[in-house]
């Protein structure tokens, strides 16, 4: 599987994503600068966590207007896989590749800790190696991860089986609507989630629950 990690000014999980991808695939991902207008031939594009453009205006708003995002959009429109983690999820909603918005955490606090989630959907390239309903623990680290969408959109996401990750009961760290932690696009090739799978691929770093996502992608896209 060939992959690319997009690097915005103030991305700060781009290296974590690159290390995880290299460890899992055996290949170094392409690191793509936000001003680049073209992507190399890749199977997966990762939008990493961080604070792109200093979170100016709104988280992900400036990044959504960057040159490279036009290429990412084209990749997604062709059915290419796109994974947005944390700030990457915010960028995906601002780019309208995913519906809804990520708002300030309900208690106004930056939350940085492991959270337990349920994998609710496995019919997609990102989570097929997990069991349906599997309980996984990924770390979160965000101040604006409170997923919001209108009732109609939330119903549609649930009805179409697009809520992939849901915070376990009592674990919602940010006030997200219906405990939503991660969602898929309509064509199921774009996934955005607040928790960090790339930080749990090595037991030395506190867990391996994130490996399933990379194994799913490798199995499907290689």
Partner 1 sequence: MKARVFVTLKNGVLDPQGKAIGHALNGLGFGAVGEVRQGKVIDLELSETNETKARAALKDMCEKLLANTVIEKYEIELKA
- Which residues have a catalytic role annotated? 86, 196, 198
CA 145/CA 142 separation, integer angstroms: 6
Beta carbons of 199 and 144 less than 8 angstroms apart:
no
Q: What is the DSSP letter of 207?
A: B
CA-angle at 215, arms to 212 and 217, nearest 5°: 110
Q: Which of 2, 30, 58, 128 binds partner 1 (CB under 8 A)?
A: 58
CA 161/CA 92 separation, integer angstroms: 19
The nearer residue to partner 1, 124 or 176, going by C-beta atoms, is 176
CA 121/CA 174 separation, integer angstroms: 22
In angstroms, the Cα distances linking 152 to 132, 148, 155, 189 are 25, 12, 5, 22
Told to check if 101 binds partner 1 by CB under 8 A, we report yes
Pick the piece of the chain touching partner 1 (CB under 8 A) from 54-62, 70-78, 127-135, 198-206.
54-62
Pick the piece of the chain touching partner 1 (CB under 8 A) from 19-27, 80-88, 128-136, 144-152.
144-152
The nearer residue to partner 1, 93 or 216, going by C-beta atoms, is 93
Beta carbons of 213 and 207 less than 8 angstroms apart:
no
Terminal C-alpha separation, the chain: 4
Told to check if 155 binds partner 1 by CB under 8 A, we report no
Q: Which of 24, 149, 194, 213 binds partner 1 (CB under 8 A)?
A: 149
Told to check if 74 binds partner 1 by CB under 8 A, we report no
Told to check if 144 binds partner 1 by CB under 8 A, we report no
- Minimum distance from CB of 214 to partner 1 (Å)? 30
Told to check if 52 binds partner 1 by CB under 8 A, we report no
User: Which spans of this chain sit near partner 1 (rule: CB under 8 A)?
Assistant: 57-58, 61, 65, 93-94, 99-101, 103-108, 148-150, 175
């Amino acid at each position: 599987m060939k992959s690319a990690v997009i690097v915005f000014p103030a991305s700060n999980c781009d290296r974590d994503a690159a290390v995880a991808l290299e460890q899992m695939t055996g290949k170094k991902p392409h690191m793509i600068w936000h001003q680049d207008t073209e992507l190399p031939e890749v199977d997966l594009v990762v939008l990493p966590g961080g604070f792109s453009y200093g979170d100016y205006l709104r988280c992900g708003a400036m990044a959504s207007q960057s040159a490279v995002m036009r290429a990412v959009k084209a990749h997604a429109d062709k059915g290419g896989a796109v994974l947005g983690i944390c700030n990457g999820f915010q960028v995906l909603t601002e780019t309208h590749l995913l519906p809804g918005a990520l708002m300030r955490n309900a208690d106004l606090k930056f939350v940085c800790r492991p959270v337990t989630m349920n994998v609710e959907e496995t019919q997609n390239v990102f989570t097929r190696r997990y069991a349906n309903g599997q309980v996984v623990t990924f770390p979160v680290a965000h101040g604006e991860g409170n997923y919001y969408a209108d009732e109609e959109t939330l119903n549609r996401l649930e009805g179409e089986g697009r809520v992939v990750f849901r915070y376990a009961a009592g674990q919602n760290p940010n006030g997200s609507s219906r405990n939503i932690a991660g969602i898929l696009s309509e064509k199921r090739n774009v996934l955005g989630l607040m928790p960090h799978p790339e930080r749990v691929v090595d037991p030395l770093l506190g867990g391996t629950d994130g490996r399933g996502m990379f194994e799913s992608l490798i199995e499907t896209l290689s």
